[in-house]
Structure 1
Amino acid sequence: MSQHQDFQSFMKARQHAASAYVSGNAAPLSRVVAHASPATFMGPGGGAVQGADAVWSRYEHDAQLFEPGSTSEFEILDMAAGDTVAYWTGYQKAQAHMKGQAKTIPMTLRVTEVFRLEGDAWKLVHRHADPLAEPGKKKH
């Protein structure tokens, strides 16, 4: 089996982790993120976090903002895998139940994720996600 086929299989686990995450469960994500540096996270709220421990801490914290019942799916525009590095880029679309919010919040994020092969497992080492701006509307 080629690395690309392995990566395609891995992306099913990554999708499962994203779905669990937006329902407040970070445990599946813990199995796919890098726990050794370097690692980075540039989240939809801005800013950047560096270092595997700090990134994981942020993921754990942010997962607690969601409530069960949320949904998430990836729309992959492009992905590729080499011998030790892989990526995907596209959109993450979610219907999120946020703590303290009565209504479900629709979210569409532009996402780029980079992975490295550690042993025989792909690990998330970089995530950059930001809100998709609606065409014709300027952000202030």
Structure 2
Amino acid sequence: MLTPVVDDDGAPFWEYAARGELRVQACAEPDCGELRFPPRPCCPHCHSFDSEWRRMSGKGRVWSYVVPHPPLLPEYAALAPYNVIVVELADAPRIRLVGNLVSGPEAPLNSVAQDRIRIGAKVQVVFANDEGGEGGSGLPRWVLERP
């Protein structure tokens, strides 16, 4: 499995994800509070440098998807075909995250048949256990709400 490249602005996202929490950066200015993703040092709306991380429900819908042919990432070639979905968060519709639709937290990337993927399908975030079984891997994945 590929590991994410973590920068200073995005590090809290991955720390929360490793604990099984989906959080999004928000402006901490009381008059703003705008959610933003990807994380960045300054609010694009009010230009404040104050931020906080708000817990999301983890629910969303498939906004778009692709099944790359040939696989775009060499590390995933043995798993092809696999899907890549864009999820619009239910509690933050302007926030979209990229991930994979899987049949369960520990399932392989190609565990959902391509013909079952639909734009608009409701999904829920899951986090796979790491190899040691302690906590999540930190990589958000998605399952259908109604399989």
Q: Same fold per TM (> 0.5)?
A: no
Instruction: Give me the TM-score of the superposition, normalised by structure 2.
Output: 0.25
More helix by proportion, 1 or 2? 1
Instruction: Give me the TM-score of the superposition, normalised by structure 1.
Output: 0.25
